[in-house]
C-alpha cells in the first residue's frame, strides 16, 4: 500500500501528500535547473531528510540514555555535481544546545549521526560531511 501520493501540478512543480497524516509538501525545480526555485527541490528534500533523520535517531538514542538534545539544530548544505546532475556532497553542521554532555553521550551522538537510515540508504559515493558542535 502506498504511503505517499505525488501529483505533477505543472511548470516543474509537484505536490506530495503523506497519506496517513494528510500533510503535503510542494516541490519546485531549482532556478539552475529550469525551475522557479519557489519551494524545496527534490534534491533539497534528500539533503533535508538526511539532517532530519540524524536528529530523529539522535533523539531516540538520547531518550534511551536519559539525556536531551532538545534545541539541537542542523545547518545543511547540498552540493551538486553535473554529468550526470546529482548531489555530490551533503554537509551537515549539528549544533547542540548549551548543555554539558559527557564523553559517552558525545560518542553515542557521533556514532548515531553516521548510522541513521537515510545515511545508510544513500549511495556510498555521496559524501556526507557531518560536524558536531557542542557548546560546553
Domains plus CATH for the chain? 4-33 (no CATH), 42-133 (3.30.300.20)
Q: Write out pLDDT tens, residues 99-115.
A: 999 999 999 999 999 89
Res 1: pLDDT: 85
Query: CA geometry: angle at 82 spanning 8 and 27, to 5°?
Result: 25
The pTM assigned to this predicted structure is 0.92
**Gap between the Cα atoms of 62 and 59, Å rounded:** 5
- All residue ranges of the chain with pLDDT < 50 are none
Residue 65 CA to residue 104 CA, distance in Å, equals 10
**pLDDT for residue 126:** 97
> With b meaning 16 or more CB within 10 Å and e meaning fewer, what string describes 15-36?
eeeeeeeeeeeebbbbeeeebe
Give whole-number Cα distances, 85 to 16, 32, 65, in Å.
22, 11, 41
| Distance in angstroms (rounded) separating the CA atoms of residues 107 and 30 | 37
The DSSP letter of residue 33 is: G
Amino acid at each position: 500500500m502506498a504511503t505517499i501520493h505525488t501529483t505533477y501540478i505543472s511548470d516543474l512543480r509537484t505536490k506530495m501528500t503523506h497519506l496517513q497524516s494528510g500533510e503535503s509538501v510542494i516541490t519546485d525545480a531549482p532556478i539552475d535547473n529550469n525551475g522557479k526555485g519557489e519551494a524545496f527541490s527534490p534534491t533539497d528534500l534528500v539533503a533535508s531528510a538526511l539532517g532530519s533523520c540524524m536528529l530523529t535517531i539522535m533523539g531516540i538514542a538520547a531518550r534511551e540514555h536519559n539525556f536531551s538534545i532538545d534545541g539541537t539544530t542542523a545547518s545543511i548544505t547540498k552540493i551538486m555535481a553535473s554529468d550526470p546532475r546529482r548531489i555530490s556532497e551533503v554537509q551537515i553542521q549539528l549544533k547542540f544546545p548549551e548543555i554539558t554532555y559527557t564523553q559517552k553521550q558525545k560518542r553515542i551522538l557521533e556514532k548515531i549521526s553516521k548510522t541513521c537510515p537515510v545515511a545508510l540508504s544513500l549511495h556510498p559515493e555521496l559524501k556526507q560531511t557531518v560536524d558536531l558542535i557542542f557548546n560546553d
